[in-house]
């Protein structure tokens, strides 16, 4: 019986997965944050309301959309700053998209 455990491979998997996931989630979250800063807070209604969702009614969704629009109006940023934030948001989304494309490439190659 030979037990060969490749601990280094495990460590590599852990590190690569951690860095990859943190980058993707971090950039995506940053993009959302920038969208909010640019006065375009995304209000994405659930495709279907399930028991696992906290905000459950259409009325609450409409209320959230109204609150987002109101908050966007009150933004202290200048128009230039808002445009910059929007550009940063799209850049972050772009980086996430690149990460997804890279992942597909990895799937195809391996």
**Distance of CA 16 to CAs 19, 22, 23, 93, 97, Å?**
5, 10, 11, 21, 18
Site for other proteins in 18-57 (CB under 8 A): 18, 20-22, 24-26, 28-33, 35-36, 41-57
> Per-residue x/- marks for other proteins, 77-106, CB under 8 A?
-------------------x---x--xx-x
Options 5, 59, 73, 78; binder of other proteins; rule CB under 8 A = 5
Nearest to 37 by CA among 97, 1, 78, 95: 78
Identity of the residue, 53 or 78, whose beta carbon is nearer to other proteins in the bound complex: 53
Q: How far, in Å, CA of 18 to CA of 31, rounded? A: 20
């Amino acid at each position: 019986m030979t037990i060969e455990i490749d601990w280094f491979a495990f460590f590599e998997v852990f590190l690569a997965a951690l860095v990859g996931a943190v980058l993707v989630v971090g950039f995506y979250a940053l993009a959302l944050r920038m969208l909010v800063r640019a006065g375009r807070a995304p209000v994405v209604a659930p495709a279907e309301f399930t028991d696992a969702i906290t905000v459950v009614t259409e009325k609450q969704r409409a209320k959230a959309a109204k609150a987002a629009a109101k908050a966007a109006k009150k933004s202290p940023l200048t128009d230039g700053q808002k445009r910059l934030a929007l550009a940063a948001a799209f850049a972050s989304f772009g980086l996430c998209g690149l990460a997804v494309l890279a992942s597909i490439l990895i799937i195809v190659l391996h």
